[in-house]
């Protein structure tokens, strides 16, 4: 534990050594970015970009992020399970194959051949004449 708190340990090394910090990182980043954007939009709507905007925005962001991060971290696994179960319920028992890239390419070649069109490949801007 003393190695984690040593002053010469870089933040990247600290993250690699601590599984708890690595598991928190997605929730930390997700909640931080979303609350940062949402509080900026809401503050712009409420007080406008005038004097004192930045201080009010940072106060709102830190307050909302302090609530959003623990909720995101603690409820994340529950929501992932719920999403998996909802997706499994909506998935058809037997999937019918749809169009793939090869089907689209074959149809394109067939239409080009039937209409006797010329395929122009590797064109560069202004390399054609009208």
The parent domain of residue 44 ranges over 25-85
| Inside any domain, residue 36 | yes
- Tens digit of each residue's pLDDT (9 = 90 or more) over 105-120: 888 889 889 988 887 7
Residue 114: inside a domain: no
pLDDT tens-digit map of 37-50 = 999 999 888 888 88
11 lies in some domain? no
Q: What is the DSSP string of 64-115?
A: HHHHHHHHHHHHHHHHHHHHHHHHHHHS-SSPPP---HHHHHHHHHHHHHHT
Average pLDDT, the chain: 80
Domain count, the chain: 1
Whole-model pTM? 0.52
Tens digit of pLDDT for each residue in 5-37?
555 666 666 666 777 777 888 889 999 999 999
């Amino acid at each position: 534990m003393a190695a984690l708190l040593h002053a010469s340990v870089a933040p990247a090394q600290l993250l690699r050594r601590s599984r708890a910090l690595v598991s928190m990182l997605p929730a930390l980043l997700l909640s931080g970015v979303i609350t940062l954007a949402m509080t900026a939009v809401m503050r712009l709507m409420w007080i406008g970009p005038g004097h004192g905007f930045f201080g009010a925005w940072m106060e709102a962001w830190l307050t909302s992020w302090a609530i959003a991060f623990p909720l995101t971290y603690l409820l994340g696994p529950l929501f992932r399970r719920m999403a998996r179960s909802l997706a499994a319920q909506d998935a058809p028992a037997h999937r019918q194959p749809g169009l793939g890239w090869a089907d689209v390419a074959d149809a394109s070649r067939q239409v080009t051949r039937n209409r006797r069109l010329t395929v122009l490949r590797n064109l560069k801007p202004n390399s054609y004449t009208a």
